Amino acid sequence: MPTNASRVLLTGATGFVGSALLPLLLADGWRVRATSRRPQEGEAPEGLEWVRCDVDDRGSVRAALTGCTSAYYLIHSMSDGDDYDVRERKAARAFAEIAEEVGVSRIVYLGGVQPTHDASKHLRSRAETGRALASTSVPVVELRAAMIVGPGSASWHITRDLALRLPAMVLPKWLESRSEPVADVDVFAALLDALRRENVAGVYGIPGPDALSARAMLMKVAALRGSQPLTLDIPLLSPRLSSGWIQLITRADPHLARELVEGLRADLLNHEPDYFATMGHSPLPFAEAAALALEREPGSSSRVARFVERVVRMISVEADA
């Protein structure tokens, strides 16, 4: 639980996960030192401090971590060139070493589910980053998620756009691979819990309750908007060609689209201890998670406020159970 002396470092605070987690941490009573390469300007609310931090600059990492009791590591460089995996691993190791030197007591890291074989470069990098963070004596809680369902998630945006923009779809073989998509509200609940609870260091999965193929997800999202696209199975369409198709329909970053498609060559099912089970928490089914995400499209401040209240209330109830 947060105390007056508890300051948490939130790296990647302007990204999808970090920007949503920030108001939740403040609402939960934490003092937050939020970082980005270009910190936010203007007056910050009580309990929030913005600092510049580039994980490739050890000096800025040290300055950011000094005085913090815990840290979230939400750094990901997938769209920053072909050698992103080497740079991610190096940055994570340096972050862990500096955290150990300045006395940080916990690192919470959001990673990715690993297939049983033939992992893509993107997914291998996610696991290697976790191992680099755990290479010192600082306890690390690594939470591995498949697709996160919610506004801001690149994989969710691709799924949503394909489902809602196409009256007909070609469905390559890789769309039959299964995963366990998880609602963003459940991910944020787990991230908050991992900061609050003692003796939870280790690698955990945070799977949604439904194991679905990408094809099934597309059909379910389309159904939420009252459509039923025509489909055509094409078993020979490669992930590389598919990423070009995705970019055309969704305007996704081409490198990002290719990496995400490569990750779907095999099932992405959780094989780690289920963190939600340790919380006594039941994550939302995919249909409910998708409906909630569609309801929370950008443009409604009242919905954002209700979202913050919902997650913090969820965590508080489970902590008291």
- What SS3 string covers 25-77? HHHCCCEEEEEECCCCCCCCCCCEEEEECCCCCHHHHHHHHCCCCEEEECCCC
262 lies in some domain:
yes
Question: The domain that contains 299 carries what CATH number?
Answer: 3.40.50.720
Selection from 150, 151, 216 nearest residue 179 by Cα: 216
Owning domain of residue 62: 7-320
Residue 306 in any domain: the answer is: yes
What CA–CA distance (Å, rounded) separates 254 from 241? 11
pTM of the predicted structure, to 2 decimals = 0.86
Rounded Cα distance between 40 and 50, Å, is 7
Whether residue 284 is contained in a domain is answered as: yes
- Is residue 1 assigned to a domain? no
The size of the chain, in residues, is 321
- Using alpha carbons only, what angle is made at residue 150 by residues 148 and 153, rounded to the nearest 5 degrees? 60
Contact of 106 with 70, CB cutoff 8 Å: yes
Residue 295 lies in a domain: yes
Tens-digit pLDDT string for the chain (321 aa): 565 558 999 999 999 999 999 999 999 999 999 998 776 665 678 899 999 998 889 999 999 999 999 999 998 865 556 677 898 999 999 999 999 999 999 999 999 999 888 788 888 999 999 999 999 999 999 999 999 999 989 889 888 887 877 666 666 776 788 999 999 999 999 999 999 998 899 999 999 999 999 889 988 998 998 887 777 666 655 556 566 666 666 666 666 666 666 766 788 999 999 999 999 999 999 999 999 999 887 654 445 445 554 555 565 555 555
- Total domains in the chain come to 1
In angstroms, the Cα distances linking 33 to 28, 74, 164, 184, 232 are: 14, 14, 38, 22, 50
Q: For residue 2, is it within any domain? A: no
- DSSP characters for 158-196? HHHHHHHH-SEEEEEGGGG-EE--EEHHHHHHHHHHHHH
